[in-house]
Amino acid sequence: MVAVDLATHPGHLARRLQQAHYLLWNTMVSEEITSPQFAVLNALVAEPGLDQRTVGERVGLDRSTVAEVISRLIRRELLDKVRDPQDGRRYLLHLTEEGRRAHRKLTVRTARMNQVFLAPLSTDEQTAFFDLIQRVADAAESLRSPEEPLAAPRR
């Protein structure tokens, strides 16, 4: 039996990156507000008044995860939801004043965390890294919708 070289397994490397990110997030950004919660706050700073489904699409969270994240943010009084006047079945989300303050504070901290996270890479390598992981993430998200074919690899 021969051991597999896990350095050639993207899932293994992605898990290691996620572990490093989680550690940095908890030590440098927040132990109370998670990275997915920050992503939701950030989406609503960019586009106030989105509904829950659209927020989930914007930040790459599935329906049940975004529902739980939004519930927690509402309980913490960082978000408000109001009934959509155009569609009474739908709720629109807005940051509270406390949510805006939290977002401002977290934005500064995430910038510092990202500097530490990306320190091993030069500026050019960081640009290439973002391009590559964005392409892989976009392709992976298309797997959620079987009717959408995967994009052909770029060469």
Q: How far is CA 72 from the centre of its chain?
A: 16
Task: Provide the number of structural domains found in the chain.
Answer: 1
pLDDT of residue 26 exceeding 90: yes
Q: pTM of the predicted model, to two decimals?
A: 0.86
Q: Is residue 155 part of a domain?
A: no
Q: What is the Cα–Cα distance from 25 to 117, expressed in whole angstroms?
A: 10
- Give the tens place of pLDDT for each residue, 65-95: 999 999 999 999 999 999 999 998 899 999 9
Which CATH number is 51's domain given?
Answer: 1.10.10.10
Let me know if 55 is exposed, middle or buried by CB neighbors in 10 A (0-12, 13-18, 19+): buried
Q: Is residue 2 part of a domain?
A: no
Domain that holds residue 44: 11-143
Q: Is residue 5 part of a domain?
A: no
- Say if residues 82 and 94 touch (Cβ distance below 8 Å): yes
Q: Is residue 136 part of a domain?
A: yes
pLDDT of residue 147 exceeding 60: no
Q: Is residue 135 part of a domain?
A: yes
